Amino acid sequence: QAQLVESGGGSVQAGQSLTLSCAASEYTYDLMGWFRQVPGKEREGVAALKTGNLNTYYADSVKGRFTISQDNAKKFVYLQMNSLKPEDTAMYYCAASPRLPWGNVDFLEALYYHYWGQGTQVTVSS
């Protein structure tokens, strides 16, 4: 069974950095993503990565501050978060899809992801 495990969350002050890690199971995935959610709001796509060609996609709110990457063995996906803001406070989830969705799609849409981690909390104070 596919399993994703996030780590690296914590509490920081505005302007600081955090790196989230997502450990994948023995499976490999064509598409990996990071999402975040605050209570009462919908889950928001933050960053996505096509593991084959390493194309990346970012929400406008994090462009230039967040970077998604993977290790060479494709067993870990990372989200480097710099210049954190209080509005980045959320539960962050790793997500994966074994295959790329067809067509011209928005890779930051949660519906294209089949597997999800349990989440790791990020809290940014001002």
CA proximity to 34, closest of 125, 122, 103: 122
In this prediction, residue 25 has a pLDDT band, given cuts at 50, 70 and 90, of confident
Q: What is the pLDDT of residue 2?
A: 66
Q: What is the pLDDT of residue 104?
A: 86
Mean pLDDT of 87-97: 97
CA dihedral of 50, 53, 54, 58, whole degrees rounded to 10: -50
Q: What is the pLDDT of residue 14?
A: 98
Q: What are phi and psi of 41, to 5 degrees?
A: -125, 160
